[in-house]
Copies of this chain bind each other. A is one copy, B any other.
Amino acid sequence: MSTRTQAQQNSGAVTNQKSVQIAQGNGGLLTKELIESLFLSAADKQLDTRHDSATVACEWPYLCMTTDSFVVTPAIFPGGNIGSLSVYGTVNDLAVVGATPKYISTAFILEEGFPLETLATIVNGLYKAALETGVSVITGDTKVVPKNAGGGVYITSTGIGYAESSPIWDTSLIREGDVILVSGTIGDHGATVMLAREEFGLGAELKSDCASVLPLVALIKDFEGVRFLRDPTRGGLSVLLHDIVQETGFDIQLDESKIPIQPEVESVCDILGLDPHVLACEGRLVAVVSPEISDEVLNKWRNLDCGRGAENIGIVKKCGGSKGRVLISTSIGGCRMMNQLEEEALPRIC
């Protein structure tokens, strides 16, 4: 590394530019300089660039692996940016299978002309989130594509976590009478990103819920009676609950008045004709638990800042139709099926 750091000091080719150049993706000197000036300084030695693969000691019985491409626009939004999101999203996917996140790789696809200052903000957000969640970014890649062949910046994060056993929570454990808990308001991320595009001229004071769910999982990890955990991201609460009814064959009965939604999110949805149930969250946790422990889980979660808005939103019921359904009791005494995301497209939401 030392010789490369010297090379960086001897050259100002990158720092004299204000936006990403196509030649910075060719794998040569300019690529090295970009990596050194932006990534290595933010990485604080966790990134090993000397080999194309990073090597770490491995001392656990099970290994969990997850990957996600992040294509959100705008890349910086109230409450986070694509860099922090790429870490939280990956950490959360590991957390919900009971794994302890350990290592992460990040691959950047940059569009020619993307502002380097914005990229620096994103890289810093990424490493700050990594530090907070206890994962090390041990390897990465940087490609540059020509103008109009990219979306500014795309990040693909892959996470490795360790586990003492194969997944302890699974939809196959879900039983009639189980309770559905959500750790906070839904749709904050989706509504914030839609607003941040400024295509609608709305100015609500919203911010993304983009955060790690590790503290929420840690509180209940040793509880008997936790059946299934998942973070509702793309497709929101609706896709998550429809996955459950599809896999188990049960119905889920929700109480509309209990589903926590911020008034600002409701307003944005009313105006834009969106359904908050399909809007992405990026820091919420949904748990299916036995009725015996549901109050204790809620109380524990509510003691955390990130779980203050936790609610019991419904129960698992015997199937009343030909296949599992997600039903919502409305405040006026009616009952309807939850909208299942199919045609609605909110592209580049995460």
Known: A53-B97, A158-B105. A342 touches B30 (CB 8 A): yes
Chain A 229-249: CB-based contact to B (< 8 A → 1; otherwise 0) = 011011100110000001101
Q: Mark A321-340, 1 if CB is under 8 A from B, else 0.
A: 00000000000000000001
Assess the B4–A246 pair: CB atoms within 8 A: yes
Instruction: Encode contact with B along A77-98: 1 for CB under 8 Å, 0 otherwise.
Output: 0000000000000000110110
The answer to whether B28 touches A342, judged by C-beta atoms less than 8 angstroms apart, is yes
CA distance A340 to B13 in the complex (A): 15
Task: Report if A134 contacts B (CB, 8 A).
Answer: no
**CB-based contact B50/A65 at 8 Å:** no
Nearest chain B residue, comparing its CB with the CB of A96: B52
For this complex, 29 residue pairs linking A to B, each with C-beta atoms less than 8 Å apart, are: A23-B345, A25-B345, A26-B234, A26-B345, A27-B234, A27-B235, A27-B341, A28-B341, A29-B341, A31-B234, A31-B235, A50-B171, A52-B96, A53-B64, A53-B96, A53-B97, A53-B159, A56-B62, A57-B63, A58-B162, A66-B105, A67-B106, A71-B143, A105-B158, A144-B347, A145-B154, A145-B348, A150-B150, A154-B154
Q: Quick one: closest B residue to A171, CB to CB?
A: B50
Please report the total number of A residues contacting B with Cβ < 8 Å. Answer: 91
A160 located at the interface, meaning its Cβ lies under 8 Å from any Cβ of chain B in the complex: yes
Interface residues of A in 41-84 (CB under 8 A from B): 50-58, 60-69, 71, 73
Contact A139/B69 with A150-B151, A158-B158 known, Cβ cut-off 8 Å:
no
Interface of A is mostly: mixed
B4 touches A69 (CB 8 A): no
A162, chain B: closest CB distance, angstroms? 8
- Nearest CB of chain B from residue A69's CB, rounded to whole Å: 4
Please determine whether A145 and B341 come into contact, CB atoms closer than 8 angstroms: no
Interface residues of A in 1-59 (CB under 8 A from B): 3-4, 7, 21-23, 25-31, 50-58
A interface vs B, CB < 8 Å? Answer: 3-4, 7, 21-23, 25-31, 50-58, 60-69, 71, 73, 93-94, 96-97, 99, 103, 105-109, 112, 138-141, 143-146, 148-151, 154, 156, 158-163, 166-167, 170-171, 230-231, 233-235, 238-239, 246-247, 249, 278, 280, 340-348
Can you name the residue of chain B whose Cβ is closest to the Cβ of A234?
A: B27
> Are A55 and B348 in contact, CB atoms less than 8 angstroms apart?
no
Most buried by B among A21, A109, A170: A109
Measured in the bound complex, the distance between the Cα atoms of B107 and A61 in whole Å is 26
If A54-B65, A149-B151 touch, whether A28 touches B340 (CB-CB below 8 Å) is yes
Min CB–CB distance A1 → chain B (angstroms): 9
Q: What 3 A-B pairs come out closest when comparing CB atoms?
A: A28-B341, A27-B234, A27-B235
